[in-house]
A and B are shown apart, each in its own frame.
Chain A
Amino acid sequence: MSQVAVAPPVQLSSKTTEYLASSSRYRDVDKILDRRGPWTDEQFQGGQAAKDFLRQQCKILVIGAGGLGCEILQNLALTGFHNIHVIDMDTIDISNLNRQFLFRETDVGGSKANVAAAFVMQRVPGVKVTPYFGKIQDHPASFYGSFDIIIAGLDSIPARRWINATLVEIAEQDENVTPLIDGGTEGFRGQARVILPAVSSCYECSIDTIAPPTAYPICTIANTPRLPEHCIEWASVLEWPKVFKDKKLDTDDPDHIEWLYQRASTRANEFKIEGVTWALTQGVVKNIIPAIASTNAIIAASCCNEAFKLATLAAPSLDNYMMYSGNESLYAYTFEYEKRADCPVCGGESIEVQAEKDWTLETLLEKLEDRQDLQIKRPSLAYESGAPLFFQAPPQLHEATKPNLAKKLSELFSEDASVVITDPNLPFQVTVSIKLV
């Protein structure tokens, strides 16, 4: 992670200097800020107060400088936000260029955050964009607490869970509510939502609506392949580890994809299955989500519209979820997502799990992995006291606790008990109460 001092002092032309000094340039946005609408909030002061906050005081963070991030930075700069920060750990790839419009072919390989920030400052003089090239987890909670508004345009669920949990914790401990505006797209569809941490429902409240990844049963992959995808999964899940042992599959390495493609094609030929292509192979193993500029434009605009409304009170903000679909004609659905009482991040109640006394601990572990409202992949379990039940790592603890997997729950718990789960997918611990039946 590094914060780069971009933008060497730019020599502004006399025209630009004149433009920056002219009060009429914000004529369009000012109409909305100088006038009250029929649905405008009581607290709206309008006029200078709103303009000053927007254009001088408000400090806003954009998480992600990808498809949504590029659009968000553009919109914020034009709307009048002057103190914008952006964080992204990614570098620019050629497949970004069909939508991430702040990047050019010559930028491939560069930091998305750095290039995007420099571009916006060049195009919209007077705006300050501070880039951070690195992971969101590398910054302390206090960093995130210092912003007035945070907009996330992320494609990663673990990163969203992390920033959501971090902001809810800040809200609960310091009573400092930093609104989180979250956007996501897939193909012609997308959604935008406003999260007021600890006040409204949070990202984790709706984690169970995220469709589980397409999982092909291992027996289909191994024995009865029918689709080209089955052959590709066979090559990546079964063949790769068998041939390469501990060498990790790098889905960004075209040679690795080539190898999978060759193996999958050979298998498909054997079974007379048609349709294995290079692009499909890459799509299956990287789980590629189709993405286009226009959908990102719609969702990013909605996110920035909400940021503008929160910063100026010019209109009530979204309460709290909007989904858009352009797949069949077009429609939007706006509704309030309810808080979940047993949300592990913002709810007060713990998640309850019904378990049979003669289940083994391994069975319980599998049941927990299957739960849509937890979305975990390699959980470790501990008693509420902290004593380990089953740990995935470190190796010594893993070895020591592994025998517990075969034990029956009735041997491990004398009565109903609470179990603490930690998992690489979870940025927090979850306590679940086990009801023995």
Chain B
Amino acid sequence: MTHRTPPASPSNHRPVKMARMSDGMDLTDATTGMEAIPSYRPDAKARRYDRQLRLWASAGQRSLEAARVLLIGCDATGCQALKNLVLPGIAHFTILSPRSVEAQDVATNFFLHPDTIGRNIAEEAVKLLKELNPAVEGSAVVKDPAQLLQSDPDFFSAYTLIIASNVEPQLEMDLAEILWKASEKVGGPDVPLICIRNSGFIGRIEVQLREHCVSDTHPEQTHTLRVDQPFPELEKAARSLDFDSMDSMEHSHIPWVVILARAVSIWREQHGGQLPNSDDDAERAAFKDMIKSWRHKADEENFDEALRSSYQGFTKSELFEDEAVVTVSENSKNLHILLHALKQYTSQAPHLPPISPTLPDMHSSTTSYVALQNLYRAQFNSDFARFKQIVAETLGRIGLPADAIPADEIESFARNSGGVQVIKGRALKESKEMRGLVAEVYTNVDEQFVDEEKPIHLGLHLALLAAERFHLVTGRWPGSPEADDLAEENRQVEEMALSLLQSVVPGAEGGPETSEAIAEVVRGGFSTLPTTAAFLGGIVAQEAIKLVTNQYMPLDNTVIIDLVKSSMEKYKF
């Protein structure tokens, strides 16, 4: 595993502040007559969901509350994933299974009670999962998934998202294929599929989606201020200030954005419209020297901030590269229409999405900060007006009413449009065939990891793929209880893994890491450790929430989890 930045501990508590000194007045007296401002005190629902609304806000919550999730494979892992989706309040979940509850189901699955042994597993699990949140609807469908896939494929495309937990490899492939084909048609249903596989301490999650748009990635750095090409009003404001005539208080409270916008404007004027060259040490220094020359005192914090951010003056704001949403129709999703409109919007100068209306905090006086904020807001409003116009034209062109997309959805898209990300996924079948990345990694594995321990995760992936092939051939999992000769099963899986590998990389050897990975996977015998189930169920739910809310970047497309070493690695196969 490659080394990344060491962690900062997430828990971060402020000591409770306490009032000091003596004899205060009564709270009621103090409050009486001052509630001029509407309170909007949270209602019971807002209080229940308070800790999650602080992550995905009401827009994300609305999407969740419209989501319908289907679980195929009613095992501990699948039910743990559902638990983590019922709690935050999805609209509906269905569990599809014709099986009866057995003792080992109860032993691993918290949402089954021993008294229900012998009854239908979907119905029993739905009952206990529904208890978690009275606002969520749940239903059981007592049918064989493979037959239903044949007789009524439309059943599956009626869901927002499908989770397939440890279902048989053939069913998994068939389901993935039907969903992939359905999403081929423009305007057809594009239902993300999350597939889970676990064996003892080892797990894998695969996500199939054709296209996914993240309308808010929640980046650490949220503000794209575009000081490299200040909009006219900002440039005008920055140039109109007379730094020299200011008193020291005023001078030390000019927001750094204004200082930098002024520096950029002057530099461009002197350099034929060019920004400082970021690869040229001398130009960078000259740019900074200009800013330094405006200082009145050495300890002005606003100038410190401007110098720290000076790279923003010579880093050109650019449009994210994406494949455009070329065709839209009356059946297109709102998001697709908005992306289509955004493409048209950015085809005009300055070839950038609407500016973000929010500012980070910076050293400045209240008045100059608020004035700057108003400049950005006014610019956003004018950008937004143009964007709204394009959306309205697009809707008209494809024969939809002007209010087909709610106004607040258009606005929140526009506010975050600088951070919109589009993911193009791959069919599950294609990623399982191990073309691309696996071939590349295995071909170069010796050069890539000369001094390091070779990564175990690819070996685990290969082991799981080989075990799936084993299941296709024998109809059962390697290492399952029927297996009396573990060593022999191990050997067979190794053989299958090697042939899989050599079909992609002729002549490749698995190596000791792969043998160890196979041994651990076969040891697990595709049994469920409750802890592994809970771990995977947590990740699946996080990913489902990200997909449903169109917030935060989701996994694309595979993660391999090793709970022997408590590590994981993700790949785009």
Footprint of B on A, CB under 8 Å? 13, 15-16, 19-20, 22, 24-29, 31-32, 35-39, 71, 74-75, 77-79, 94-95, 97-99, 101, 104-105, 123-125, 155-157, 184-192, 206, 209-214, 224-227, 236-237, 240-241, 243-249, 251, 254-256, 258-259, 261-262, 265-266, 269, 271-273, 277-279, 283, 285, 287-302, 304-306, 308, 315-316, 318, 321-323, 326-335, 377, 425
Query: A188 to chain B: which residues have CB within 8 Å?
Result: 55, 542, 552
The verdict on B468 contacting chain A, using a C-beta distance below 8 Å, is no
Contact with A along B96-117 (1 / 0, CB 8 A): 0000000110111110011101
Q: Which of B3-11, B185-193, B262-270, B410-418 contacts A (4 or more CB under 8 A)?
A: B3-11
Query: A308 to chain B: which residues have CB within 8 Å?
Result: 529, 531
Task: Using A294-B84, A294-B545 as known contacts, say yes or no to A279 and B9 having CB atoms under 8 A apart.
Answer: no
What is the bound-complex CA distance between A117 and B555, given in angstroms?
Answer: 36
Are B9 and A184 within 8 A (Cβ)?
yes
Are B217 and A245 within 8 A (Cβ)?
no
Within 8 A of A (CB), among B311-334: none
What is the bound-complex CA distance between A241 and B20, given in angstroms?
Answer: 6
Contact of A330 among B30, B542, B563 (CB under 8 A): B542
Query: B10 to chain A: which residues have CB within 8 Å?
Result: 184-187, 189-191, 289
The verdict on B494 contacting chain A, using a C-beta distance below 8 Å, is no
A37 vs chain B, min Cβ distance (A): 5
Query: B271 to chain A: which residues have CB within 8 Å?
Result: none
A101 vs chain B, min Cβ distance (A): 5
Query: A330 to chain B: which residues have CB within 8 Å?
Result: 539, 542-543, 555, 559, 568, 570
What is the bound-complex CA distance between A63 and B154, given in angstroms?
Answer: 48
What is the bound-complex CA distance between A15 and B101, given in angstroms?
Answer: 12
Within 8 A of A (CB), among B496-525: 515-516, 519-520, 523-525
The verdict on B200 contacting chain A, using a C-beta distance below 8 Å, is yes
Are A31 and B55 within 8 A (Cβ)?
no
B49 nearest in chain A by CB position: A98
Given contacts A15-B114, A191-B7, A262-B31, 13 further A-B contacts (CB under 8 A): A13-B114, A19-B106, A25-B106, A35-B525, A78-B530, A186-B12, A210-B12, A249-B19, A271-B370, A279-B54, A292-B88, A293-B541, A298-B535
Footprint of A on B, CB under 8 Å? 1, 4, 6-25, 27, 30-31, 34-37, 39-42, 44, 46-55, 76, 80, 83-84, 87-89, 103-104, 106-110, 113-115, 117, 131-134, 200-201, 217-219, 253, 361-362, 364-366, 369-370, 479, 481, 486, 515-516, 519-520, 523-525, 527-535, 537-539, 541-543, 545-546, 552-556, 559, 563-568, 570
What is the bound-complex CA distance between A272 and B372, given in angstroms?
Answer: 12
What is the bound-complex CA distance between A10 and B498, given in angstroms?
Answer: 55
Number of A-B contacts (CB under 8 A): 374
A225 nearest in chain B by CB position: B366
Query: B84 to chain A: which residues have CB within 8 Å?
Result: 292-294, 297
5 tightest A-B contacts by CB? Answer: A297-B538, A245-B24, A186-B10, A244-B24, A298-B538
What is the bound-complex CA distance between A296 and B217, given in angstroms?
Answer: 21
B359 nearest in chain A by CB position: A226
A239 vs chain B, min Cβ distance (A): 10
What is the bound-complex CA distance between A248 and B36, given in angstroms?
Answer: 24
Are B529 and A245 within 8 A (Cβ)?
no
Contact of A272 among B8, B87, B370 (CB under 8 A): B370
Query: B36 to chain A: which residues have CB within 8 Å?
Result: 262, 266
What is the bound-complex CA distance between A244 and B417, given in angstroms?
Answer: 46
B512 nearest in chain A by CB position: A38
Are B253 and A38 within 8 A (Cβ)?
no
